Structure 1
Amino acid sequence: MSMPPLPSPTASPRASTADRPAPLSCTDLFVSFTLIALQGFGGVLAVIQREMVERKRWLSNDEFIEEWSVAQILPGPNVCNLAMMIGQRHFGLAGAMSALAGLLAAPLVVVLVLALVYARFADVPAVQGALRGMAAVAAGLVAATGLKMSAALGKNVLPLAVCVIVAALGFVLLAWIRVPLAAVVFGLGGLGCVLAWRRLKP
């Protein structure tokens, strides 16, 4: 009887433990996050959710929401945190650095070029109008991503009504009352953690 082939030492560990696709290498991570970054006008949250969950299927929607939640409370840009978490999940430190480099390298060059162009044409009314229009598009992308992610609330350990109340409180505190983000994250987020823990404990 022949022995089953051993997994390649360079293969992603996720590929052997899950049925969903996984990045093939650190280069695959770098290229994927570079393409994500180049699509991310006004922020890459909407793009990274579509690419990671819907197109590449490296994460389920529930996993994306869990990792995004952790990325939100860590110091630093939350999208960079998320990229490093996804890279580390597959290839450890090398994967984390590859994902982060892909997310930052190309946009850095683009921003430097655009900064030079903007310094020359900033006073042109057409340029100012275009930037205001892009702000509306960015807001729409964030809202659409929020609606997609809200589908996971039905499977949350907390009742749907409690999830909606916590989300509404977060919106009111941040958008209307202008409470500092750190206070909302640790205060309201801590309350959510306590409520979930009470539901999960034996």
Structure 2
Amino acid sequence: MTMQQNITPDCRALFFGFFKLGLMGFGGVLPIAHHVIVEEKHWLDQNQFTNLLGVCQILPGGNIVNMSVAIGMQFQGVKGAICALLGLITVPTIFVVSCYQFYEQFKDILWVQHLMLGLAASAAGLLFATAFKMLKPLLKNYLMPITLGLTFIFTLWIKLPLIMTLSLLFIINLIFLRIKPL
């Protein structure tokens, strides 16, 4: 299998690439972002996408917003970051304002409530599908199953705050790396 070489987008490509994500990303852009950025546009490979997403998740703000800025910055500097961000938020901003107005007017109608529940369920399904897709290359590292297990224990069972969970996982991974280098 041959590796696809990454393509360097210009500001126009960044704007319209992220515009497409903003246009298509109902219920969450991450599943579509992965497809567009890695599989369609070839701006990043699978590992680059996963690593960048990891960094974007620990930063304040939305993951895909952070990712648009980081990708724009990587390829075209500040101008690229602005183009990517504006591309991403243009359509959703208009759509959110319109949907909010609709929902405010009709939120007491039963079919509107059911519609919202259905949309939430489909968004969760898309998120799980993307998570499993991204998990596959990560499982090649012997530390990943340990880190995943500890993440579930720390966040779901012990209910530690995010910063404490990340700090503990960082320390544990450093200890494991000293014991058995990659």
What TM-score comes out, normalization by structure 2 length?
0.88
Pair member with larger Rg: 1
Measure how far apart 1:198 and its partner are: 6.5
**Which structure has the higher relative contact order (CA within 8 Å, separation 6+)?**
2
Residue by residue over 1:106-125, the C-alpha shift from the partner in whole angstroms, topping out at 9 and shown as x without a partner, is 21111011111111011111
Residue 152 of structure 2 aligns with which residue? 171
Residue 130 of structure 1 aligns with which residue? 115
Residue by residue over 1:8-63, the C-alpha shift from the partner in whole angstroms, topping out at 9 and shown as x without a partner, is xxxxxxxxxx933232x212111111110122122111111111111111111000
> Is 1:65 matched with 2:65?
no
User: Percent of aligned pairs with the same residue?
Assistant: 36
Cα distance in 1, alignment partners of residues 62 and 174 from structure 2: 22
Cα distance in 1, alignment partners of residues 51 and 62 from structure 2: 16
Output the amino acid matched with 2:5. Answer: D
Quick one: structure 1 residues 82 and 200, their matched pair in 2 at CA, closer, same or farther if it must change by over 3 Å?
A: farther
**SS of 1:97's equivalent?**
helix
Q: 2:77 aligns with which of 78, 82, 92?
A: 92
Q: 1:21 aligns with which of 1, 4, 7?
A: 7
Quick one: structure 1 residues 186 and 83, their matched pair in 2 at CA, closer, same or farther if it must change by over 3 Å?
A: farther
* RMSD of aligned residue pairs (Cα, Å): 2.1
> Is 1:183 matched with 2:168?
no
Measure how far apart 1:154 and its partner are: 4.2
| Structure 1 runs, 4 residues or longer, greater than 6 Å off | none
Residue 30 of structure 1 aligns with which residue? 15
Residue 11 of structure 1 aligns with which residue? none
Structure 2 residues without counterparts, runs of 5 or longer: none
Structure 1 residues without counterparts, runs of 5 or longer: 1-17
Cα distance in 2, alignment partners of residues 141 and 149 from structure 1: 12
Output the amino acid matched with 2:109. Answer: V
